[in-house]
Amino acid sequence: MFHEMVPQPKMLIVIAAYFLAVFAFAYLAKKKENRKSIKDFALAGKGLGSFILMATFMASWMGGGAVAGSINSIAYTAGLWPSILYASGSILAIVILYAIGPLVRKRGKITTAALIEGSYGTNARVLSAAIIALASFSIVSYQLRAMGVILNATTGFNLDLMTLISCVVIIIATVSGGLSSVVKIDAFSVCVMLVGIVCAFAYIFTHVGGFSWVVEQTAAYAPDGLTFTAGWTAKDYLANYAPGCLLALGDQNLYQRMAAAKGDRNVQIGMIGWALGTILVLPAIAFLSYIGRLYFGGNIMASQSFIALSTICPWAIGGLMMAACSGFILTTGNSYLLSGSTNVATDVFTHFKKDATDIQILKVTKISIVFFGVASLILLKFFPSILAIQYWASTIVGAGITPSLLACVVCPEKVTKWGGIASMVGGTILTIGWEMAGQPFDLATVLVAFPVSVLLLVVVSALTRKSAPTANT
């Protein structure tokens, strides 16, 4: 017999305490930092150390997609092992980013669009900034929904209303302090996250009856739930794991943090910490999500399989668990809201207003934060689930940005302006078109858009290499 999810309003006490601490960090950052400098606002004065980098990499990456999207949805619909192995895509991306980190920092650019300009020209910079902005506010949108799911599970209040409140909170937290504020919130949230998950895991695992209960429930309600493949094919693994990996490799948010570091070594140590955190945290979320599926069954949505478990805990532990989830979501939401807005201000606005001052760029950044926050809220109306938005946003970056970006960092002499532009345009259009067509032939968008994007980059670069104009023409 499956259980009903019963909201626990008392958990709001712990969540509210977390948000008060968050706004305190934002306020202190606002008072301390030079607010007139776009580099201070977007790069925290290039002063991020190893621990802060580890925390901000980890916290910004493990957002609503982890607690209300990919991992828990896979655990709910497929089984335990596919959900646990989802972390492998992140680990592969971290290894690659670790290797190219020094090359990225050597360029000294604030945004990935500025990196792209060096190989593909100014028009490519504007194009890539627009693509990244589209992906960024798409990512923000499912953070809003995930936070709404948390508040809905806690209070029982209307999901749309809770999502609206989440939107306001994330916008305020982002516009208040820039990256300096964001990374301080990240460091605090990682601590809350680790304590919350450890406490919740210990209580929930004991409460339900341990692993023997998991085995019994699996046999009764999910016969394939503990098998290694859970009925998945190789195509299923690629379709579910590739978007996240490709997103990380082209993620403006992560490159922005590399640029904000004190030095190359700080970046690499931070990434080692991020990898270790991923190995510890994501499998724990996967296991708890699977327990949620066995405990609540069809009484909850797939996106609630992890969050719903907070309601079976004592309110203090459940509240700590939800505060941890809020930390995941808030840090990811404000990170992507900031990075997408930074792209618009530094890559698009300055293209049309070449004499723009730091004050003007900063003003446009803040206006963009508000605009994209609202746009993210509206976008939710066009997708059936958090997982659907997550894969859409990841593939836009993975197909539209990642191939050309990695090429210009690793082997800039092998690609041309037209190859890069063809890859970005082709990957983005195919992503949008394939999604609108309902993924024909039962092929996930990433399995079509990414290979085509790579092919366009290679073929068009080869055809235009001899006559290719210089990057800035």
Q: Where are the beta strands (DSSP E) in 244-342?
A: none
In the three-class reduction of DSSP (H, G, I as helix; E, B as strand; rest coil), residue 110 is classed as coil
Nearby residues of 341 by Cβ (< 8 Å), 6 or more positions away: 133, 136, 174, 365, 366, 368, 369, 372
For the chain, the structural domain boundaries read 11-383
Q: What is the pLDDT of residues 358-372, one digit of tens each?
A: 888 888 988 999 999
DSSP string for 429-469:
HHHHHHHHTT-GGG--HHHHHHHHHHHHHHHHHHHHTTTPP
pLDDT recorded at residue 398: 95
Of the listed ranges 55-69, 111-125, 372-386, the least confidently predicted one is 55-69
Mean pLDDT of 83-112: 89
CB 72 within 8 A of CB 289: yes
Look at residue 158 and tell me whether its pLDDT is greater than 50: yes
Which pLDDT belongs to residue 30? 60
User: Residue 470: is it exposed, middle or buried by C-beta count within 10 angstroms (0-12/13-18/19+)?
Assistant: exposed
Instruction: Extract the tokens encoding 412.
Output: 């800039």
Q: Which of 425, 445, 418 is nearest to 434 (CA)?
A: 445
Tokens 């968008």 label which residue?
445
Q: What is the dihedral of CA 190, 191, 192, 197, to 10 degrees?
A: 80
In angstroms, the CA 278 to CA 274 distance is 6
Tens digits of residue pLDDT in 190-232: 888 788 888 889 999 999 999 999 999 999 999 999 999 888 9
Tell me the backbone φ, ψ of residue 48, rounded to 5 degrees: -80, 125
Q: In the structure, what pLDDT confidence band is assigned to residue 473 with cuts at 50, 70 and 90?
A: very low
Q: Report pTM.
A: 0.85
Helix spans in 62-158 (H): 64-68, 70-77, 80-84, 87-107, 112-120, 122-155
**In 110-149, which positions are buried (b, 16+ CB within 10 angstroms) versus exposed (e)?**
bbbbbbbbbbbbeebbbbbbbbbbbbbbbbbbbbbbbbbb
Q: Which residues contact 382 (CB under 8 A, 6 or more apart)?
A: none
Predicted local confidence at residue 38, as pLDDT: 53
Angle at Cα 339 formed by Cα 420 and Cα 239, nearest 5°? 60
pLDDT tens-digit map of 406-426: 999 999 999 999 999 999 999
- The single-letter code of the amino acid at 384 is P
Q: DSSP characters for 402-440? A: HHHHHHHHH-GGG--HHHHHHHHHHHHHHHHHHHHTT-G
In DSSP terms, 261 is beta-bridged to 48
Element (H, E) at 38: helix 38-43
Alpha carbon distance, N-terminus to C-terminus of the chain: 67
d(CA 101, CA 271): 10
Give the whole-number percent of the chain exceeding pLDDT 70: 92
Most confident of 52-66, 298-312, 445-459: 445-459
As separate numbers, helices (DSSP H) first and strands (DSSP E) second, the chain gives 21, 0
Does domain 11-383 sit in CATH 3.40.50.2300? no
Higher-confidence residue of 47 and 144: namely 144
**Structural element, H or E, at residue 470:** none
Give Cβ neighbours of residue 95 (< 8 Å, ≥ 6 apart).
275
pLDDT of residue 79: 93
Q: What's the average model confidence in pLDDT over 447-467? A: 93
Between 77 and 61, where is the model more confident? 77
Give the three-class secondary structure for 261: strand
pLDDT of amino acid 214: 95
What's the mean per-residue pLDDT of the chain? 87
Contact 93, 108 (CB under 8 A): no
